[in-house]
C-alpha cells in the first residue's frame, strides 16, 4: 500500500504542516474571481468514502450488527443462559433463530457470541494498531541497523502460525471471567507486525519529504517529528489496516474458540457456537448456519468498509480497484 | 542463480536460531508443565514430583535447559515427552501428512488465484469480473472451519444419496488398505481432496485480488501495447507477456501467507479428523507436554522459512533484476 497521499497534499495540510515555508503567502490575498469553498482534507476523504456505495452500505450493516450485539441482549426477552421449554425448535416467530437441544434461544446466544467476538476483535485491532504504528514509525525513521534488527524481529513473529501460538499461550488462560481480555492480548501480540510493516514502508518514503526536512531544520526533536509529523501522515494506511486487523482477529478468535482454546463455556463466542453445532449440522442445521452467517457478515462488511476507506484515502488506486 | 540461493540460505540460519530461542522462551514462560500433577487428589508425594521435574529437566536453569534441548536436535533427540512417544519419529510422520495437505493447497490456491486474476483483469468490469470479485470477497470472509464442516456435510449427503463412498470425509487415509502402492496412493489422494479444496478456497481470494490489480497495471503498460500492435494473439500476450510480470509481486504476497496455511491446516485437520501435526499439537497442549510443542513450533517455523526461501527464489526466477541486486 504505497501512500501517495502526501504528494497530493498541496492543499490545506501542506500549509498546516510547514507553515514557515510559505512566507510569500502574505496577508494580502488577491480577491478571487470565483468563490470556491475551501474543503479540509478530512472532508474530502469523507466525501470520497460516501461516494463508495458498497462501503457505505457495509458500514450501515456493520453498525446494525454492533447494535444487535451490544444492545440486543437488553431488548430481547430471552437470555443466552436461560433454558426455555422449547427444545430443538427450528426458526419460528418465537425463536427467530431456533433453539438448541437444551432449549436455549439461539438468537440470544448469537447476540452474546457476536458481542464477545466483536469485543475481542476491536480490542485486538486497537492495541495492535497502536503498537504496530509506533514500532513501524521508529524503524522507518531511524533506518539502518535499528530498522534491520526491528524488521527481522517482525519477520520472525510472522513465521509462526497464529492459531498454534495462540493455542499454546491461551491454554493457560482457563475459564476466568476476564479471559476474553487475555485472548485479545495474545492475538494482538501476534498481529501487530502487520501494521508495523505497512507503517514502516510509508514512513521510509515520507521521511525524505520536504516538510520533514523543514521540521528538522527548525530544530524539532526526533520524537516530535515521528509523532507530530510522520504518524499523522500515515493515518490513511493505518486506518485501512485497522479494518484488515478486525477481520483477521474475528477469524482467528473464532478459529481458536472452535478448536477449544479461545472463549470457553459458560461464556460463548461465534466460533464456539459453530463448534458446538458441528455434530448437529444434519439434524438442527440452524444452529450451524446462523453463527457462521454472522461471522461472514461481519468480516464481509469490514472488508468492504476497508476497501472504501482505501479508495477514499488514496484516490489514485481507484482505477485498479478490485 | 545458485550463488543467490546459497546467499539466501545462509541468511535464514540466524533467523532460525533466533526463532528457536524465542520459541523456547515463550513455551517455558507459558505455564507449569507439572500443574496437573500438583493439582491431583490425593497430592502425589514430593519424590514423584521431583522425579518428574528431573525427567523434564525442570530442575536445570533455563539457559542450560535451552542448550540441552537445542544441542540434542542435530542428533534427532527432541527431548522427553509425557506421552511416551519418540517426538522426532512421531513428528516426522505427522509432518508428512500435514505438508502434503499444505503444499497441495498452496499450489491449488496459486493456480486458482492466477486464473481468476487473469480472467478478471482481461474482462475488467464485466459480469464475470464482478461475479469473481464477489465470490472472492465471500471466500475471504468465510471461516475455514465453517466451510470445512459445510463441505464435509455436503460430501456425506452425496455419499448417502448414491450409496457409495465417493468422497472420504474422515481421516488422512483408510485404516486398512488393501492392494499395492498404486491403491495406497489413490487412497491417500482420495482423502486429500476435500481438505485441500477447503484450504485453497479459503485462502486464494487475497492473492487473486492482488493478481488482478497487478495484471491491470501491466496490461496498461507500453510493452503490452507493443505486443498487441505487432499482432500477437491476445491469449499469448496475456499469459506470456503480462502474467509473468504480474506474478512476481503476487509471489511476495503469497510468501507472507504461508504461516496462515499452517493455522488453516490445524483447523481443517480437526474437522476431518486427520492424524496430522494439528492433532499432535492440540493433544500435547492439553497434556501440557512441553517438548512436543517445542518441536512442533520449530518444525512449522522452519517449514515456513523454507517456503519463504522458495518464494524468494521463484521471485528471482521471474524477475532477473533481483538476482544481481
Q: Which 3 state secondary structure label does DSSP give A105?
A: strand
Q: Note the pLDDT tens digit of each residue in A250-301.
A: 999 999 989 888 888 778 889 989 998 888 887 888 888 999 999 999 999 9
Say how far apart CA B37 and CA B50 lie, in whole Å.
Answer: 11
Say how far apart CA A309 and CA A307 lie, in whole Å.
Answer: 5
The reply to whether residue A322 touches residue B212, judged by beta carbons under 8 angstroms, is yes
Q: Using alpha carbons, list the distances in angstroms from residue B309 to A159, B8, B68, B255, B316.
A: 12, 7, 29, 9, 11
| Predicted confidence (pLDDT) at residue A56 exceeds the cutoff of 80 | yes
The reply to whether residue A161 touches residue B304, judged by beta carbons under 8 angstroms, is yes
The count of CB pairs under 8 A between chains A and B is: 139
Q: Which of A4, A55, A161, A276 to mutate to test the interface with B (most CBs of B within 10 A)?
A: A161
Q: What secondary structure letter does DSSP report for A218?
A: T
The reply to whether residue A171 touches residue B209, judged by beta carbons under 8 angstroms, is no
Q: Using alpha carbons, list the distances in angstroms from residue A189 to A1, A130, A162, A233, B34.
A: 22, 11, 10, 25, 26
Q: What is the dihedral of CA B285, B291, B292, B298, to 10 degrees?
A: 110
Instruction: Identify the pLDDT of residue B74.
Output: 85
Instruction: Please name which of B315, B309, B295, B318 lies closest in space to residue B24, comparing C-alpha atoms.
Output: B295
Alpha-helix runs per DSSP H in A259-315: 270-277, 285-313
Q: Which of residues 119-148 of B touch A (CB under 8 A)?
A: 120, 133, 136-138, 140-146
Instruction: Identify the pLDDT of residue A9.
Output: 42
Alpha-carbon distance B182 to nearest alpha carbon in chain A (angstroms): 34
Contact B204, B112 (CB under 8 A): yes
- Contact with chain A for residue B304, Cβ under 8 A: yes
Q: Which of the four pLDDT bands, split at 50, 70 and 90, describes residue A33?
A: low
Instruction: Identify the pLDDT of residue B149.
Output: 92
Please tell me which of the candidates B136, B144, B149 has its beta carbon nearest to residue A288. B149
Grid coordinates representing A251 are 477469524
Q: Which 3 state secondary structure label does DSSP give A203?
A: helix
Say how far apart CA A132 and CA A197 lie, in whole Å.
Answer: 8
Say how far apart CA A222 and CA B269 lie, in whole Å.
Answer: 49
DSSP H or E stretch at residue B261: helix B258-271
The reply to whether residue A168 touches residue B297, judged by beta carbons under 8 angstroms, is yes
Q: Which of the four pLDDT bands, split at 50, 70 and 90, describes residue A13?
A: very low
- Choose the most confident range, by mean pLDDT, from A114-128, A163-177, A270-284, B14-28: A114-128
| Predicted confidence (pLDDT) at residue A39 exceeds the cutoff of 80 | no
Q: What angle do CA B84, B87, B88 make, to 5 degrees?
A: 145
Q: What is the mean pLDDT of residues B136-154?
A: 92
| Predicted confidence (pLDDT) at residue A29 exceeds the cutoff of 50 | yes
Say how far apart CA B186 and CA B192 lie, in whole Å.
Answer: 10
Percent helix, strand and coil across chain B, each to the nearest 5? 80, 0, 20
- Contact with chain A for residue B158, Cβ under 8 A: no
Grid coordinates representing A117 are 467476538
Say how far apart CA A279 and CA A275 lie, in whole Å.
Answer: 8
Which is higher by pLDDT, B4 or B102?
A: B102
Its ipTM equals: 0.86
Say how far apart CA A202 and CA A137 lie, in whole Å.
Answer: 9
| Predicted confidence (pLDDT) at residue B301 exceeds the cutoff of 80 | yes
Contact B94, B189 (CB under 8 A): no
Q: What is the mean pLDDT of residues B178-186?
A: 78
Say how far apart CA B159 and CA A94 lie, in whole Å.
Answer: 36
- Choose the most confident range, by mean pLDDT, from A61-65, A150-154, A306-310, B293-297: A61-65
Say how far apart CA A307 and CA A299 lie, in whole Å.
Answer: 12
Q: What is the mean pLDDT of residues A75-92?
A: 78
Which is higher by pLDDT, B322 or A311?
A: A311
Stretch among A197-211, B46-60, B97-111, B247-261 having the lowest mean pLDDT: B46-60
Average per-residue pLDDT for chain A: 81
Query: Chain A partners of B295 at a C-beta cutoff of 8 Å?
Result: none
Say how far apart CA A147 and CA B232 lie, in whole Å.
Answer: 46
The reply to whether residue B262 touches residue A161, judged by beta carbons under 8 angstroms, is yes
Contact B266, A163 (CB under 8 A): yes
Residue by residue, DSSP assigns A48-93 as HHHH-HHHHHHHHHHHHHHHHHHTHHHHSSS-TT-B-S--SPPS-S
- Percent of chain A topping pLDDT 90: 27
The reply to whether residue B141 touches residue A299, judged by beta carbons under 8 angstroms, is yes
* Residue B179 φ/ψ region, left for φ over 0, alpha for ψ in the -120 to 50 degree band, beta for the rest: left
Contact A64, A307 (CB under 8 A): no
- Choose the most confident range, by mean pLDDT, from A107-111, A313-317, B34-38, B255-259: A107-111
Q: What is the mean pLDDT of residues B100-115?
A: 93
Q: Which 3 state secondary structure label does DSSP give B96?
A: helix
Contact B265, B276 (CB under 8 A): yes
What phi and psi values does residue B142 have, to the nearest 5 degrees? -85, 125
Instruction: Identify the pLDDT of residue B103.
Output: 92
Q: What secondary structure letter does DSSP report for B317?
A: H
Contact A257, A269 (CB under 8 A): yes
Say how far apart CA A236 and CA A231 lie, in whole Å.
Answer: 10
Say how far apart CA A6 and CA A237 lie, in whole Å.
Answer: 12
Instruction: Identify the pLDDT of residue A10.
Output: 44
Name the β-bridge partners of A104: A83
Q: Note the pLDDT tens digit of each residue in B73-87.
A: 888 888 888 787 888
Sequence-distant (≥ 6) Cβ neighbours of residue A210 within 8 angstroms: A18, A21
Instruction: Identify the pLDDT of residue A23.
Output: 47
- Contact with chain A for residue B103, Cβ under 8 A: no
| Predicted confidence (pLDDT) at residue A156 exceeds the cutoff of 60 | yes
Q: Which of the four pLDDT bands, split at 50, 70 and 90, describes residue A30?
A: low
- Contact with chain A for residue B263, Cβ under 8 A: yes
- Percent of chain B topping pLDDT 70: 98
Average per-residue pLDDT for chain B: 86
Q: What angle do CA B133, B267, B178 make, to 5 degrees?
A: 110
Query: Chain B partners of A164 at a C-beta cutoff of 8 Å?
Result: 262-263, 266, 281, 296-297, 300
Say how far apart CA A88 and CA A104 lie, in whole Å.
Answer: 9
Q: Which of the four pLDDT bands, split at 50, 70 and 90, describes residue B177?
A: low
Q: Note the pLDDT tens digit of each residue in A193-207.
A: 989 988 998 898 888
Say how far apart CA B149 and CA B272 lie, in whole Å.
Answer: 8
Name the β-bridge partners of A105: A99
Give the A-side interface with B, CB within 8 Å.
152, 155-156, 158-165, 167-169, 171-172, 247, 251-252, 254-255, 258-261, 271, 274-275, 278, 281-282, 288, 292, 295-296, 298-300, 303-304, 319-320, 322
| Predicted confidence (pLDDT) at residue B113 exceeds the cutoff of 90 | yes
The reply to whether residue B146 touches residue A261, judged by beta carbons under 8 angstroms, is no
Q: What is the mean pLDDT of residues A1-29?
A: 45
Q: What is the mean pLDDT of residues A49-67?
A: 91
Instruction: Identify the pLDDT of residue A8.
Output: 42
Q: Using alpha carbons, list the distances in angstroms from residue A258 to A167, A185, A268, B150.
A: 11, 18, 11, 15
Q: What is the mean pLDDT of residues A232-238?
A: 87
Q: Which of the four pLDDT bands, split at 50, 70 and 90, describes residue A176?
A: low
Which is higher by pLDDT, A84 or A186?
A: A186
The reply to whether residue B145 touches residue A320, judged by beta carbons under 8 angstroms, is no
Say how far apart CA B278 and CA B257 lie, in whole Å.
Answer: 18
Name the β-bridge partners of A99: A105
How many other β-carbons are positioned within 10 Å of the β-carbon of residue A71? 12
Q: What secondary structure letter does DSSP report for B232?
A: -
Amino acid at each position: 500500500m504505497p501512500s501517495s497521499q502526501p504528494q497530493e497534499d498541496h492543499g490545506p495540510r501542506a500549509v498546516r504542516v510547514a507553515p514557515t515555508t510559505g512566507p510569500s503567502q502574505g496577508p494580502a490575498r488577491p480577491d478571487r474571481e470565483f468563490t470556491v469553498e475551501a474543503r479540509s482534507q478530512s472532508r474530502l476523504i469523507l466525501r470520497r468514502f460516501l461516494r463508495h456505495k458498497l462501503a457505505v452500505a457495509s458500514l450501515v450493516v456493520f453498525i446494525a450488527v454492533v447494535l444487535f450485539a451490544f444492545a440486543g441482549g437488553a431488548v430481547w426477552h430471552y437470555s443466552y443462559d436461560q433454558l426455555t421449554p422449547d427444545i430443538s425448535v427450528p426458526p419460528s416467530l418465537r425463536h427467530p433463530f431456533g433453539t438448541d437441544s437444551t432449549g436455549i434461544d439461539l438468537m440470544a446466544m448469537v447476540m452474546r457470541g457476536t458481542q464477545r467476538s466483536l469485543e475481542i476483535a476491536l480490542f485486538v485491532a486497537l492495541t495492535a494498531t497502536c503498537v504496530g504504528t509506533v514500532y513501524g514509525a521508529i524503524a522507518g525513521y531511524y533506518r539502518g541497523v535499528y530498522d534491520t534488527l526491528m524488521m527481522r524481529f517482525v519477520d520472525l513473529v510472522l513465521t509462526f502460525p497464529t492459531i498454534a501460538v495462540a493455542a499454546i499461550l491461551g491454554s493457560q488462560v482457563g475459564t476466568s471471567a476476564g479471559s476474553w481480555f487475555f485472548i485479545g492480548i495474545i492475538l494482538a501480540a501476534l498481529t501487530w507486525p502487520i501494521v508495523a510493516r505497512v507503517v514502516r514502508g510509508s514512513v521510509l518514503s515520507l521521511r525524505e519529504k520536504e516538510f520533514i526536512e523543514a521540521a528538522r531544520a527548525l530544530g524539532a526533536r526526533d520524537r516530535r517529528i515521528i509523532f507530530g509529523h510522520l504518524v499523522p501522515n500515515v493515518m490513511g494506511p493505518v486506518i485501512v489496516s485497522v479494518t484488515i486487523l478486525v477481520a483477521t482477529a474475528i477469524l482467528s478468535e473464532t478459529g481458536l474458540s472452535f478448536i477449544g482454546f479461545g472463549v470457553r463455556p459458560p461464556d460463548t463466542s461465534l466460533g464456539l457456537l459453530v463448534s458446538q453445532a458441528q455434530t448437529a449440522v444434519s439434524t438442527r442445521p440452524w444452529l450451524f448456519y446462523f453463527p457462521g452467517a454472522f461471522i461472514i457478515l461481519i468480516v464481509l462488511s469490514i472488508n468492504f468498509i476497508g476497501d472504501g476507506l482505501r479508495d477514499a484515502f488514496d484516490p489514485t488506486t481507484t482505477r485498479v480497484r478490485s | 542463480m545458485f550463488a543467490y540461493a546459497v546467499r539466501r540460505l545462509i541468511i535464514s540460519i540466524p533467523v532460525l536460531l533466533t526463532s528457536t530461542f524465542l520459541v523456547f522462551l515463550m513455551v517455558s514462560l507459558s505455564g507449569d508443565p507439572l500443574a496437573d500433577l500438583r493439582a491431583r487428589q490425593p497430592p502425589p508425594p514430593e519424590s514423584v514430583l521431583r522425579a518428574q521435574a528431573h525427567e523434564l529437566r525442570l530442575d536445570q536453569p533455563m539457559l542450560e535447559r535451552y542448550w540441552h534441548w537445542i544441542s540434542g536436535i542435530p542428533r534427532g533427540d527432541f527431548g522427553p515427552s509425557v506421552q511416551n512417544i519418540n517426538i522426532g519419529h512421531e513428528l516426522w510422520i505427522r509432518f508428512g501428512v500435514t505438508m502434503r495437505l499444505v503444499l497441495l493447497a498452496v499450489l491449488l490456491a496459486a493456480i486458482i488465484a492466477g486464473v481468476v486474476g487473469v480472467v478478471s483483469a482481461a474482462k475488467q468490469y464485466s459480469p464475470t469480473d464482478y461475479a469473481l470479485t464477489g465470490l472472492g470477497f465471500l471466500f475471504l470472509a468465510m471461516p475455514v472451519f465453517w466451510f470445512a464442516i459445510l463441505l464435509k456435510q455436503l460430501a456425506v449427503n452425496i455419499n448417502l444419496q448414491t450409496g457409495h463412498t465417493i468422497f472420504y470425509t474422515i481421516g488422512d487415509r483408510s485404516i486398512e488398505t488393501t492392494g499395492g502402492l498404486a491403491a495406497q496412493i489413490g487412497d491417500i489422494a482420495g482423502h486429500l481432496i476435500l481438505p485441500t479444496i477447503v484450504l485453497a478456497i479459503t485462502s486464494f481470494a487475497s492473492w487473486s485480488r492482488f493478481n488482478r490489480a497487478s495484471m491491470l497495471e501491466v496490461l496498461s503498460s507500453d510493452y503490452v501495447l507493443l505486443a498487441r500492435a505487432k499482432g500477437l494473439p491476445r491469449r499469448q500476450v496475456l499469459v506470456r507477456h503480462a502474467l509473468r510480470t504480474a506474478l512476481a509481486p503476487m509471489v511476495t504476497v503469497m510468501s507472507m501467507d504461508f504461516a496462515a496455511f499452517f493455522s488453516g491446516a490445524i483447523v481443517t485437520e480437526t474437522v476431518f479428523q486427520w492424524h496430522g501435526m494439528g492433532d499432535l499439537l492440540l493433544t500435547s497442549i492439553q497434556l501440557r507436554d512441553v517438548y512436543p510443542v517445542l518441536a512442533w513450533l520449530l518444525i512449522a517455523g522452519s517449514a515456513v522459512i523454507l517456503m519463504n526461501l522458495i518464494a524468494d527464489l521463484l521471485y528471482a526466477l521471474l524477475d532477473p533484476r533481483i538476482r544481481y541486486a
